[in-house]
Structure 1
């Protein structure tokens, strides 16, 4: 039997604060979602000026990343590579760059999803948030 780390509220708050700081430092209006290992929402915030649709896309990216245990960009790359049938994969809707898993000791303990600016910038914000807890 394995023991797995879990995100605590203090971790979630640190990730959210660092992600928000990265977005504000760059003047980016985004939505930020943090989920646990099962893809369940732990935190959500929509910064002033973020597009309304980003409030749907950010949690979807986070969920997809947590469930797949990899960056959501991987799914986008598969589809852009011509495997369009992957669009019919059940339960996966955030197949755009910007979802980043939170990995500790080889296990996914959650994910961060960001939406509102260019996809690589969304991912930059998510990674800045995760870095705040030393992962």
Structure 2
């Protein structure tokens, strides 16, 4: 598979929301981008705050831009804060260096898109992203 279908993107979102409900999380917002960083699908739950669409896209887009999860970008920010801070203005969706942005890969480990989730703690956002990816029958980057 070389791309994510709209059905798969919607499955990722539905399963991410289901995981959030199971865990009793705050309202989530979920963005699914294709390999080129284009928005495929987005939804936010009732009660989600107004900046959440941009944050979800920045987590996913930043991951795609650097080729690593947004969690790893957060780790980078500890050692290289000036570098990571400089990425926001030049990245199409911005960059949010916090867990919740996960790259989706094909069977050859090549990126086919990314999921960005925001709304609860970063660890919980990431758990929902991983659940959504798995529910769609896709693989998260290791």
Does TM, normalized by the shorter one, top 0.5? yes
CA RMSD across the alignment: 1.4
Cα separation, 1, equivalents of 2:34 and 2:67: 11
Deviation of 1:71 (Å) = 0.6
Contact 2:28 2:118 in 1 (8 A): yes
Deviation per residue, 1:27-50 (Å, 9 max, x gap) = 221110100001111111111122
Q: How many equivalent residue pairs? A: 131
Contact 1:36 1:66 in 2 (8 A): no
Deviation of 1:13 (Å) = 1.7
Q: Unpaired runs of 5+ in structure 1?
A: none
Matched with 2:102 is: 100
Q: Which of 101, 123, 126 is equivalent to 2:126?
A: 123
Deviation of 1:116 (Å) = 0.8
Cα separation, 2, equivalents of 1:13 and 1:97: 21
Matches within 5 A, 1:9-28: 9-28=6-25
Contact 2:6 2:41 in 1 (8 A): no
Q: Is 1:51 aligned to 2:49, yes or no?
A: yes
TM-score by length of 1: 0.89
Deviation of 1:117 (Å) = 0.7
Deviation per residue, 1:43-64 (Å, 9 max, x gap) = 1111112222222201111111
Deviation of 1:80 (Å) = 1.8
Contact 1:112 1:126 in 2 (8 A): yes
Cα separation, 2, equivalents of 1:119 and 1:66: 18
Cα separation, 1, equivalents of 2:28 and 2:41: 14
Q: Describe the SS at the equivalent of 2:61.
A: helix
Q: Describe the SS at the equivalent of 1:6.
A: coil
Cα separation, 2, equivalents of 1:85 and 1:11: 36
TM-score by length of 2: 0.85
